[in-house]
Amino acid sequence: MRAMVVRRFGGPEVLESVEVPVPEPGPGQVRIRVAAAAVNPVDLATRAGILTTAGVIPPREVLGLGWDVAGVVEAGSGFRAGDAVIGLRDRIAAPLGAYAEQIVLDAAAVAPAPAGFSPAEASTLPLNALTAAQALDLVETTGTVLVTGAAGAVGGYAVALAHARGLRVVAVASDRDEAPLRGLGAEFVARGPALGDRVRELVPGGVDAVLDTALLGLDALDAVRGGGEFVAFAAGAAPIPLRGVRVRSVWIRADGERLAELARLAEDGTLPLRVADVLPLAEAAAAHERLAAGGLRGRLVLTP
């Protein structure tokens, strides 16, 4: 089967299409024929070697790319051949990822695909909705939560899930994203300088918690009340815990049962599944260039 891998770090040009043996599922695993694989910022950081430098990925000769998959079960346990599924590959140092024609995952990392969506749409759910849900699990407040990067993949799901949980949500994004974010139930603050001051005009004293998906660090922490909560989303993105703010980091883990719940929230319209564009797997390098350029709304998705 064909797969995209990296054997040296660099720009999009280091992505290589290689022929590898079809992976066989072991006990408790399933093999999925990939119909769609979403392209995420973590793939760009893996390809560029940033995560190896940061100590998140140990040195490896070959790294697979792609965490998010939607496809059809071919073999294995826990699902029937032919089942439409979604899944998450959370073993970041593995030599094969979702940028491939087939992938083997633990059945515990897989869930039924949401009904009524294309594989491309369904593939945008696992990594970013699970991250948003697991980040919200870290937050104890029942009050007001600020979401930075709210127009992004994690941020959009975080806004929707926080609103569904009954929290007051303040979204930070570009002006052009105000209407869709208000549609998800959020109040809105435009991104830009003096964020803490502008959030405090809306929420006197500051918000109870921030989910900092835009990696703003201290600028986002400034919007949080003393003794509040801060959730960071990347290595090195956790700020100094000034004013008694409790700072935590979320690190995604695969969870098929939770993913099944999130798929149901997509089906009932709580979670919008957004696709920016669909490209052939062989054009993964072009997808990386477009994601790096910024400004996308929804995910780029690769189809083998």
Ligand X SMILES: NC(=O)c1ccc[n+]([C@@H]2O[C@H](COP(=O)([O-])OP(=O)(O)OC[C@H]3O[C@@H](n4cnc5c(N)ncnc54)[C@H](OP(=O)(O)O)[C@@H]3O)[C@@H](O)[C@H]2O)c1
Q: Which residues bind ligand X (CB under 6 A)?
A: 40-42, 127-128, 131, 148-149, 151-155, 172-174, 191, 213-216, 233-234, 250-252, 294-295
The two beta strands, 207-212 and 224-232, are parallel
Q: Please give the C-alpha separations between residue 274 and each of 52, 83, 152, 220, 289, in angstroms, as whole numbers.
A: 30, 23, 10, 26, 19
Strands of the chain, DSSP E: 2-6, 15-19, 29-39, 63-64, 68-76, 84-88, 102-106, 110-112, 144-148, 168-173, 187-190, 207-212, 224-232, 246-249, 275-280, 299-303
CB of 44 to ligand X, least distance (A): 9
Q: How far is the CB of 131 from ligand X (least distance, A)?
A: 4
Q: Which is nearer to ligand X, 25 or 180 (CB)?
A: 180
Q: Give the integer Cα–Cα distance in Å for 112 and 257.
A: 10
**Residue number with CB closer to ligand X (180 or 228):** 180
Task: Kindly state the smallest distance separating residue 61's Cβ from ligand X, in Å.
Answer: 24
Nearer to ligand X, 17 or 174 (CB): 174
Minimum distance from CB of 69 to ligand X (Å)?
Answer: 15
3-state secondary structure 169-191: EEEEECHHHHHHHHHCCCEEEEC
Closest CB to ligand X among residues 27, 294: 294
Cβ nearer to ligand X, comparing 68 with 208? 68
User: Closest approach of Cβ 110 to ligand X, in Å?
Assistant: 18
DSSP lists the bridge partners of residue 170 as 146, 187
Q: How far is the CB of 83 from ligand X (least distance, A)?
A: 26
C-beta closer to ligand X: residue 41 or 185: 41
Task: Determine how β-strand 68-76 pairs with β-strand 63-64.
Answer: unpaired
User: What's the token pair of residue 133?
Assistant: 């849900």
